[in-house]
Amino acid sequence: MTDAAFAATLPGMRAMLISSALVAAFALSGPVVAAPTSLLPTAPEAARPSSKLAPLAADSAWTPRFAAAADELARALRSRDEAQWAPLLGGQWLSAADRERVRNLLGDRNSPFLPALFSKAVTHRAILGWNASASLSADERAAIEGGQEAEALVCWSAGGGEAGPWPATAIEADNGPGRSYACARIAYSIRGETPSWRAFIEQREPA
């Protein structure tokens, strides 16, 4: 299924995770480990103004969860060992084409992952969510914050500082050549006894 086709099923699946006027992520409809494709709606977002991104609120219950997942993912990607990073990107649901694409991103000299994760400079990390809608009430925000499934963008950069520059919208988190940061989307679930998550690494096709 393509991102465009899958995105058509998203409207009924989404909810914003909000804390202190920031949105952590979009809610999912099923277990993270069973998701067969990325949830990044690049095609629909391209047709309308993209939602602005902002750092995840420090007081969000989701912040430490995404931080730990981002650290584990970064270690696996730095190893360049497919046996380590593939399970975090979907395992059996990660197609051969996607595996090859990730291998290329970890080895291509024009890939933003090389300076972001393999530079000798200090690597900075950002966990980004979507700005909260001003129309949501405090009760609605609290209900979303207390949800069981959420999604956020994590980005790394070896340039600049903790303040960025980082992507301003999800469209800019495309891991294209020349980007000063590399990004992944992490879908996290705390349903059941054991929390689980899966990462997606997107790369926009050349125009």
Enter the pTM of the model: 0.73
- CA nearest neighbour of 129 among 66, 68, 56: 56
Q: Is residue 205 part of a domain?
A: no
Q: Is residue 106 part of a domain?
A: yes
Q: Which run of H or E residues covers position 102? A: helix 96-105
Looking at residues 142-152, what average pLDDT do you find?
81
Instruction: Residue 152: give the domain boundaries.
Output: 3-46+55-200
Q: Is residue 80 part of a domain?
A: yes
Q: Is residue 207 part of a domain?
A: no
Q: Is residue 28 part of a domain?
A: yes
Q: Is residue 11 part of a domain?
A: yes
24-57: pLDDT as tens digits:
333 333 334 333 233 333 333 333 446 788 898 8
Q: Is residue 206 part of a domain?
A: no
CA-to-CA distance for 7 and 10, rounded, in angstroms? 5
How many CB atoms within 10 Å of residue 95? 12
Question: How many domains in the chain?
Answer: 1
Q: Is residue 139 part of a domain?
A: yes
